[in-house]
Structure 1
């Protein structure tokens, strides 16, 4: 049975990095990075949230179609509301796949260091601008707390990301226990 592996976590925790590594270690896995898809839409920088919602609908259709081929999808996507999570769970179910939600975590000081030192790309530049406009480091740390609460509510594994190899092993185990 195919799996939709949703890597959830605050900005800077390593979602994209671990998603790329997980996909590389599992040939045939689709890496569906909604933030990258968002950057394919003209004007996305000025309407990050609106473009994200429009692209998310397209990504759900893409993931459904791909999961129906019997192959896995890894989704690095920050989601803090249960209603949004439900959309991804429904997508997996409609495709005959298993949904596995995981919250990635790291100590607050490590998270902030990673966030501030990550490579600047068009997407990370816009995300950093939005974070600063909406509260900076405190916003990121509050989001981290909300995600840990969400993991508890949803019964998801929390994977510590300070060391890449054990984190990847934990993800592989979450998908195929």
Structure 2
């Protein structure tokens, strides 16, 4: 049965990095990075949220079709709203796949250090700008707390990303 592996976590925790590594270790896995897809839409930098909603709908269709082919999908995407999570769970169910939600976490100081040191790309630059406009580091830490609460509510595993290889091993155990 195919798996939709949703790597949820705060900005800077390593969602995209671990998603790429997981996909590389599991040939045939689709890496569906919605933030990257968003950057394919003209004007996305000025309407990050609006473009994200349109792209999420497109990504859901893409993931559903790919899962129907019998192959896995890894989704690195920050989602704190249960209703949004339910959209991805429904897409997996519609495709006859298993949805595995995971919250990636790391100590707060490490999280902020990683966030501020990450490679600047067009996508990370816009995300960093939005974080600063909406509250900076306290916003990131509040989002982390909300994600840990969500993990508890949904009975999702929390995977510590301090050690990348250990985190990848934990993710592999969840889908194998």
State the 1:175 CA deviation.
Answer: 1.1
Q: 1:40-75: per-residue Cα shift (whole Å, max 9, x none)?
A: 000000000000000000000000000000000000
Q: Tell me the equivalent position of 2:36.
A: 36
Aligned partner of residue 46 in structure 1, secondary structure = coil
Q: Tell me the equivalent position of 1:79.
A: 79
State the 1:122 CA deviation.
Answer: 0.1
Q: Tell me the equivalent position of 1:22.
A: 22
Q: Tell me, in whole angstroms, the C-alpha distance in 1 between the residues paired with 2:13 and 2:144.
A: 9
The equivalences for 1:153-164 within 5 A come to 153-164=153-164
Q: Tell me the equivalent position of 1:6.
A: 6
Q: Tell me, in whole angstroms, the C-alpha distance in 2 between the residues paired with 1:81 and 1:68.
A: 26
Q: Tell me, in whole angstroms, the C-alpha distance in 1 between the residues paired with 2:41 and 2:144.
A: 28
Q: 1:8-50: per-residue Cα shift (whole Å, max 9, x none)?
A: 0000000000000000000000000000000000000000000
Indicate whether 1:65 and 2:69 are aligned: no
Where do 4+ consecutive residues of structure 1 move more than 6 Å?
A: none
Q: Tell me, in whole angstroms, the C-alpha distance in 2 between the residues paired with 1:133 and 1:78.
A: 18
Aligned partner of residue 44 in structure 1, secondary structure = coil
TM-score (norm 1): 0.99
TM-score (norm 2): 1.00
State the 1:174 CA deviation.
Answer: 1.1
Q: CA RMSD in A?
A: 0.3
The equivalences for 1:14-163 within 5 A come to 14-163=14-163
Q: Tell me, in whole angstroms, the C-alpha distance in 2 between the residues paired with 1:174 and 1:52.
A: 28
Question: What residue ranges of structure 2 are gaps of 5+ in the alignment?
Answer: none
Q: Tell me, in whole angstroms, the C-alpha distance in 2 between the residues paired with 1:42 and 1:119.
A: 22
Q: Tell me, in whole angstroms, the C-alpha distance in 2 between the residues paired with 1:173 and 1:7.
A: 14
Q: Tell me, in whole angstroms, the C-alpha distance in 1 between the residues paired with 2:156 and 2:54.
A: 27
State the 1:126 CA deviation.
Answer: 0.1
